[in-house]
Structure formats: C-alpha cells, structure tokens
Copies of this chain bind each other. A is one copy, B any other.
Amino acid sequence: MKWSQTHLFTLKEAPSDAEIPSHKLMVRAGLIKKLAPGIHTYGNMGLRAIRKFENIIREELEKSNCIEILMPMVHPKELWSETNRWNEMGAGLLKFKNRMDQDFCLGATHEEAVVDYVRHELKSWRDFPKNIYQIQTKYRDEIRPRFGLMRGREFSMKDAYSFDMDQAGALKAYDQMYAAYQRIFNRLGLNYRIVQADAGNIGGSQTHEFQLLADAGEDALLVSTKTNFAANVEVCPAIDAVPYVSKETTMKDIEKFETPGQKTIADLATFTNVPANELVKTLFYSANEGNNPKDVSLKAFAVLLRGSDEVNPIKIKNFLKMANEPRMLTDAEVLEVSGANPGSCGPVGLKIPMYLDNGLQGFKNFIVGANEDGFHLKNVNTEKDFKQTAFADLRMAKDGDKCPESDGTLKSFRGIEVGHVFYLGQKYAKAMNGVFLDKNGKSQFYEMGCYGIGVTRTVQAAIEQSHDQDGIIWPKEIAPFHVHICLLDIKDDELKSYVEKLTAELEAKKIEVFIDDRDERPGFKFKDADLLGFPVRVVVGRKGFDAAQLEVVNRKTKEVTKLAPNEVAAKVTELLK
C-alpha cells in the first residue's frame, strides 16, 4: 500500500489527554482517534493490527475445537434479570429503553446471552463438551475512561464459554484454554506472566490472568525468583522473608502516653522513635453489604496490621466471605465506634471483631492508639490487653516477600491484564436452567468456564511494552505492515519501478509492504517510519541506489545494513524470519 492511497496523518504532538506512551503513540501514528471519551475510531493501520491479532486468536482457538459465533451487542433486560445481574452489575452496565419503553442494555459480557443461545440445544450428555466463542464489540460505561484503548468504554473482546458435563470436564476445558492462551501470547513474542487472581463476582473459584508486563500497567504482580509462582497482588500470599520476632522478652504493663497531633504512622514513628514496621495501625470497616435495605447497622470490625504494611481489601473480602470489598468507615463512624478520631484509635477496650494480619504475630509490647484523641498506648499485647478474633493474611504482598512455594523471594512487576480464564462452575446453569440428561437419564446442571481476551487492549499493551523514544516497535505478528519503504525521489522512474519490483517480490512471500511516496524531506519520512514502527525499513534514494548502498534498517535494533538493490529482498526476508 502507498501512503498516497491511504488516509494517514501522523502527529508530532500527542493530545493532552494521552498520559502513557502507548496512548500517545497510537494517536500520533493515526492508529486511533477519539470520538468521545473512551470511544475511538480505529484508523486503517490500527484496524490492520487488530485484525491480525483476531486471526491469531481464531487460529489458536480453532486448534482447541472452539466454535465461533457472533452474539448481539444489544440485550433485553429479561435475559440479565434471570441471573440478577441486571441489578448486580451496577452502573457499568449501560441500560436504556427503546421506543416502546422496553428495557435493554449494551452487552458488557455475554454469559447470559451464550447460555440462552445453547440452553434449548445442549440437552444430552452426547452434546458435550462445547466451547463457543465470539469476537465482539463490548461496552462498559466506565466512569473515568483513560489510557486510550486500555480503559475505554467501547472496546473489542474475544470471549469464550465452555460447557461440560461435570467438574472434571470443566477443569480440562480450563486447561485447554490456558494452553491456547499461552500459544496466542507466545505468538506475539511479548513478555507476559500468567498470574493467580481474584475471581471477583463473576462467580467462579479458579482463575488466572494473562498479564503483559509494562511499567504503565494498572496491575501489580509478584513473581517468584525460583519457581513459576506468579500472582496478582490482589491475591498474592504475603509471607515475610525473615519473620519478625520482637526483641522484647516479657510482657510489660500497658501505659497511656500523650501524642499530640501525631496522626499518621510516619508522624508517630518520628515522635516515638519506633520504626513504622514495629508500629501497629488499626483500620475500621463495615461488614454490612447493604443486601437488606432495612438493616442500617454498621457491623463494624477492625483490621490491625504493621504500620509499614498496606491493607489488602480483597483478602478481607475473601477471608470474611463477603460478596464485595468491605467499606471503610467514615471519620464520624470511627469516632462513634472507637471514641476517637482516626490517628488515635486502637483495639483496646473495643467490643467489635478484630482481625490481625499475620505480620503481627511475634509482636510484643507494641504501640496502638488509645481511643482518645492525642493519646496512644504502649506495651500492648494481644490476648492480655485485647482479644483478637483471628490472625489472617490481610496485607498486600510486596517485593522481597517470601515465595509461597519455595525459599525464593517475590519480585514485583506492573502488568496489563490482556486475558483471563475463569472456572465458573454451575452458577449460570443454575440461574438459567441449563440442564441436560446424563448417561443415566438424570437431569443435571452443566459446568461452565469463561475466557476473555481484550483484543483492542492487547494491541495497545503490545505498544506499551514495545516502543522507544522514537515510536512504536511492532511485534512482527501484529505489525500493520512488515516493511516500510521510504521512497526518497518520488519522481525518479527508475527508482519507482525498482520499488514496484521489490514490493511484488516481497508480497509474493506474504510480506506486506507500505511505501511512503509522499513529497516530503528524507528526515521527515524517517521520523514517520520510526513512529509507525514496522519491523523493517528500506530507504530507496538515487544516491544509495547508484552506490549499491541501499539502507535496510531493523526498527528494533536500529541496525543499518547497506546493500545493492538486488540484495535487499533477501535481507528483508531474513530480518523478518
């Protein structure tokens, strides 16, 4: 394709709302253009990359006998009411009424739609297993869309759904998809990790995330230095590499002391000369999930952890078997519960459940708030001065913590979630009467899994991981084109015909060629070639042509090879192997 025949206008500057490199580069390279916040048009180059990734997905899923269909983007309320997700999904599910005042929503995910699609057909044990997928536009009414396609409102996903007779079958389907996802992301040639993650409220119990590593990633990951262990920080066990043991040997008597204006752990550490990791902070939450509107009780509870640690609300949720993360109490509620304002609160004397992070095991004679503004207590000890409800793993794991599987440690990375696999069990089958007759003629609910890949998000994440200061460095498999020919003397007939011949030769080998035939200066063209970032650049100018010194440039390494015209095709082919 020639530049003059497409619609491509690169930008020198990124728009002010583009915060991360990939977003800036995608806009500057004309891959996307914003129509409204979180809603983008994909330009021809962007679409080419997206389609290539879609085809990789199709090829690998078909190897696993997945069946492609296409479900609607507009769904009737009745469907989502069957699982109660019409209510549970919250404001992210965009709902509206049609001209006949009937309720609909835009599909944010398709569990309900796919069960409706199969439930009148999967009637016998002979009909299993099935794995059905689609690549479809999704819409989620993000309150604060940002980062281009990374957290958009309208985006494209591949979503697959497995149907099996029993749990063993479902877990086998899970493993097959896990393997297919590995093949898919391996083909991109990018650096990714498969991590344990939280299943959220989608309804399952086993889940892994596929995370492309990138500094701008929204997810924090921890990866073992010794084993394959990797987890999203949401669920990563937190184990001290060197367990803390207090130097104190005996329990002392509790003592109140004045701490005027010392509200933060940092303040208190300076004021008391005790390091933050030997101080204890007390946080207050409500266990009332609001399921019963008549119940306005707070159901307050406290979580205690080291001053240097960060609480992990997902661990609290999972430990207490709550549906959602617990709500932190407001300052006024804390005052009501403890008698003091945040900064002076502690466990002593309170009659609410107390959950202590495992990091506090081994603590003796420690400092906590006195539940009286401007005062703290020292020489506090569990059991003696207050009764803990339980010890549990409630803090965020961090770089340097112990690997849960080995004597290695954990190293932290940032990741962009591009895929996930979920084992769903019978949740949707039960809600939507998904039953079949087993070999004994008995009616059973089937087991499901669901498996997503963010198609548009992956394309951007690839750029986030693979770029330099000059522009994109496309992985070959999803590069919009493989070769970028900078034709410098656009009116030189000999060069034009050389470029035509070279293009034909490369295209015969399925190498896709983009030709910059614009009437622009060489430096301008080279800058655009770097920005667009196709794997190989060939510079065709009169001087180089006459001197048998045509430049073939590896975009990634910037390595330049100078060759005679008839050597170029072979070199390009070699670089693309």
Binding site for B on A (CB under 8 A): 5-7, 9, 33, 35-36, 39-44, 47, 50, 65, 67-76, 79, 91-92, 94-100, 104, 106, 113, 116-118, 121, 130, 132, 137, 139, 141, 143, 153-154
Contacts and interface: CB of A to CB of B under 8 A. Distances in A.
B137 A76 contact: no
A143 B75 CA distance: 17
Nearest to A76: B36
Given A99-B143, A141-B99, A113 B69 contact: no
A118 B113 CA distance: 36
B35 A153 contact: no
B65 A41 contact: no
A contact patch SS: mixed
Given A94-B99, A137-B137, 13 more contacts: A7-B132, A35-B71, A35-B75, A35-B79, A35-B117, A39-B72, A39-B74, A39-B75, A39-B76, A41-B117, A74-B106, A74-B153, A98-B141
A507 to B, nearest CB: 14
A221 to B, nearest CB: 30
Contact of A130 (B7, B92, B96, B99): B7
Contacts of A75: 35-36, 39
A7 B44 contact: no
28 contacts: A7-B67, A7-B69, A7-B130, A35-B71, A35-B75, A35-B76, A35-B116, A35-B117, A36-B72, A36-B74, A36-B79, A39-B72, A39-B74, A39-B76, A41-B71, A41-B113, A41-B117, A42-B69, A42-B70, A44-B67, A73-B73, A73-B137, A74-B153, A92-B99, A94-B99, A95-B96, A96-B96, A98-B141
| 9 residue pairs, one from A and one from B, having the closest CB atoms | A96-B96, A36-B76, A91-B99, A9-B121, A42-B70, A39-B72, A41-B71, A7-B67, A99-B141
A154 B68 contact: no
B91 A121 contact: no
Within the oligomer, what is the number of copies of this chain?
2
B99 A96 contact: no
A290 B496 CA distance: 61
A143 B104 CA distance: 15
A67 B6 contact: yes
B33 A117 contact: yes
A36 B103 CA distance: 11
Contacts of A33: 117
A47 B130 CA distance: 18
Contacts of A42: 69-70
Given A7-B132, A67-B6, A99-B143, A72 B117 contact: no
Given A121-B7, A143-B100, A70 B41 contact: yes
Contact of A94 (B71, B79, B96): B96
Contacts of A44: 67-69
Contacts of A72: 35-36, 39-41, 154
A142 to B, nearest CB: 9
A130 B99 CA distance: 37
Contacts of A43: 69
Contacts of A67: 5-7, 44
Contacts of A9: 121
A5 B79 CA distance: 27
A97 B153 CA distance: 14
A7 B95 CA distance: 31
Contacts of A76: 35-36, 39
Contacts of A35: 71-72, 75-76, 79, 113, 116-117
Nearest to A39: B72
A29 to B, nearest CB: 14
A121 to B, nearest CB: 4
